[in-house]
Amino acid sequence: MSKAKASDPTATTLNFKDPQYYFNRELSWLEFNYRVLHEALDPRTLLLDRLKFLAIFNANLDEFFMVRVAGLKQQVEADVHKLTPDGRTPSQQLEEISDRLRPMVEQQDQIFEHTLRPQLASEGAYLVNYFDLHQEQRKYLQQFFEAHIFPVLTPLAVDPSHPFPHISNLSLNLAVLVQDPETKEELFARIKVPQVLPRFVKLPNDLQDSGEKAVVWTGVPLEQVIAHNLETLFPGMNVQECYPFRVTRNADIALEEDEADDLLLAIEKELRKRRMGGSAVRLEIQASMPDSVRQTLMRGLDLDEIDVYEVEGLLGLQDLMTLLKLPLPHLLEPAWTPVVPPRIQRMFDSAEASRKLERDDGEDIFQLLSQGDLLLHHPYYSFTSSVQEFITQSACDPHVLAIKMTLYRTSGDSPIVKALIQAAENGKQVVALVELKARFDEENNIQWARTLEQAGVHVVYGLVGLKTHTKIVLVVRQEANAIKRYVHVGTGNYNPKTARLYTDLGLLSCRDELGADLTDLFNFLTGYSRQKSYRKLLVSPVNLRDRLMTLIDREIKNVQGGGTGRIVAKMNSLVDPKMIAKLYAASQAGVKIDLIVRGICCLRPQLPEVSENINVISIVGAFLEHSRIFYFYNQGEDEVYIGSADWMPRNLDRRVEAVTPIEDPEIVKDIQEILGVMLADNRQAWELQEDGSYQQRQPETRTQSRSAQKMLMEMALGS
């Protein structure tokens, strides 16, 4: 196969539209979720952490069905036959999802019932089945049921005068068969397991069996407590059988923005529809459920066999997350305490010293940034003492004239929201662009957006047809006889809670060109602007795609000119066919490419004469790898970029994203070191194979284990 011609770095003899060069998006996501499941399967993971990953695996599946599977089913119903880049129809994808997922569901069921549950018991924590309880324990639970559970329950009959009830999304239910003793007629009823009650009912200490090992906790699944006390709900009837089941519904919001006079009201209307739930897309049942009950549920929910998933043990294992609070700290990795960045710590020390001397000359965040850019790596570095401190000081500083920021996801009680309110109360010009279309955070965003508006903050709800996903802050400050602009450009949300769980990068800077670019970008977001170029920023949907293509082309040209080509890119997902084709062309030219892709990767690495110069790894660990980093060798003049955009069509074409260059040589070295550490991981890194499978790297000995997260923690502590 011939190489690309030197005169045209994008020339190729291959048709990169051929499906053989792409993995399926949905199946690739399932492989990612299997890597999450593997953390629960891996005996090297501490016991409670194994339960946590099992819960995350199940929660991920819920969202996958609510959005991705629901979308595929809608395409089938609409008779859509358009092929994906990998050549599959919606129906084929649904079938292959089912085939790949069922072994995973069985595996997670087996590991919980036969490994993790017994190991919990060996540590004195017993999650027991109701039929294993002795008489005194059952008597207590009967009294508990009558006092705390029975008043909340509502049995719903299903017969000609009672149509099949609406079963809410993600609800756990009981299908109950009862018999009328007079007519001998068998009847069907549904009981919803209340989500307002704890999933596991704890037995009092005096009823917890003691043995050789101290008992720290004994609990019983709530649905089993209900199931064994059904006579109270159906007096005078003979309860025959009872089977738990769980329903997942379409929860994606369909919004015609062009027809909405008020985006806020339109999304509120759609949220009300979501609470009711769209069409059912999945039915989870216990394997022991008889076919007659199964068929009743399938008919009532309008589902087919492909939509039914059998489980041997408990349903809804995402509720295992509540067990992380058990008093067994040795079974859980110690929580990481973020480090205050050294330069910021010196700022705090300076301010404290000034206060003690009753002076007003301590260093503030603006003086600190005037000395040079600051790179933040969360959660290794503290979000609270850096980004939050930047916004808080800006809100209080009398010289700050304006604060503008985008808010995609944050907590309603966030100190950042409070700081913006305080800034508005202090008379500053405050603008918050709130993305109402942030999936599953819409309601939360609406609530605190209204709070901001009431405080005098100018709240903007984004652009029609574009989701605003960028993470940026602009602070305008009067200094001496000039206006100076300070900026933050990040890869993650302005949420102090998730900043302790997700790895993200952020740049604090007062570079003039970045400040000017963010000014232009906010004018684009809040007013009428058709900005076509930026000084430094790469912005989608304006110039990000084209600029990335140009950067890859430059590496190709350098190789063809006898030099070296090198690209390292870290992101959450790689889906975009055009970007993948460009990477193939670079590989063919001889550019060495390392990709760190946490989740979906549709690129096929190591294909002879196509992608043999491309290696792909995925890292799944205690923190969710969320940062996006793009490195280009550029003949030794290294260029590094960080930002909010993955390489997916939606990020490059249908979202507002911002990617910033890193221009401080020392920070470039820091990011190169971060990438090097991640590429060297042999504890939690998985290598993508040519056939789409992943193989986990294994150190030869325990002492040779190199976890990127552990190494980055050590780097932060040593900084």
> What is the token pair recorded at 547?
């600029």
Closest CA to 711 of 342, 380, 382: 380
Task: Determine contact, residues 244/174, Cβ cutoff 8 Å.
Answer: yes
Closest CA to 618 of 29, 11, 2: 29
Task: Determine contact, residues 602/614, Cβ cutoff 8 Å.
Answer: no
Helices (H), 527-576: 544-560
State whether the Cα torsion 319-325-327-332 is positive or negative: positive
Closest CA to 307 of 109, 70, 55: 70
Task: Give dist(CA 115, CA 42) in Å, integer.
Answer: 11
* DSSP 8-class letter at 325: G
Task: Give dist(CA 600, CA 270) in Å, integer.
Answer: 28
Total residue count of the chain as it appears in this document: 719
Task: Give dist(CA 423, CA 456) in Å, integer.
Answer: 9
> What is the token pair recorded at 613?
């110069």
* DSSP 8-class letter at 146: I
Task: Determine contact, residues 179/186, Cβ cutoff 8 Å.
Answer: yes
Task: Give dist(CA 401, CA 701) in Å, integer.
Answer: 58
CB-based contacts of 206: which residues, under 8 Å, 6+ apart? none
- Would you call 28 helix, strand, or coil by DSSP? helix
State whether the Cα torsion 181-183-188-192 is positive or negative: negative
Strand partners, 685: 619
Cα separations in angstroms, 172 against 286, 459, 582? 12, 38, 47
Task: Determine contact, residues 624/504, Cβ cutoff 8 Å.
Answer: no
User: How many Å from the N-terminal Cα to the C-terminal Cα in the chain?
Assistant: 49
For strands 200-202 and 471-479, give the pairing.
Answer: unpaired
Task: Give dist(CA 658, CA 675) in Å, integer.
Answer: 20
Q: Which one-letter amino acid corresponds to residue 702?
A: R
Task: Give dist(CA 518, CA 520) in Å, integer.
Answer: 5
> What is the token pair recorded at 36?
């999450």
In the numeric block, the tokens 């205690």 are attached to 622
Q: DSSP states of 360-401 as a string?
A: S----HHHHHHT--EEEEETTB-SIIIIIHHHHHHHH-TTEE
Task: Give dist(CA 656, CA 235) in Å, integer.
Answer: 60
In the numeric block, the tokens 């559970």 are attached to 149
Task: Give dist(CA 236, CA 230) in Å, integer.
Answer: 11
> What is the token pair recorded at 334?
């110690």
Closest CA to 248 of 60, 62, 441: 62
> What is the token pair recorded at 648?
């997916």
Distance of alpha carbon 562 from its chain centroid, rounded?
42
Question: Which of the residues are catalytic?
Answer: 469
φ and ψ of 540, to 5 deg: -100, 150
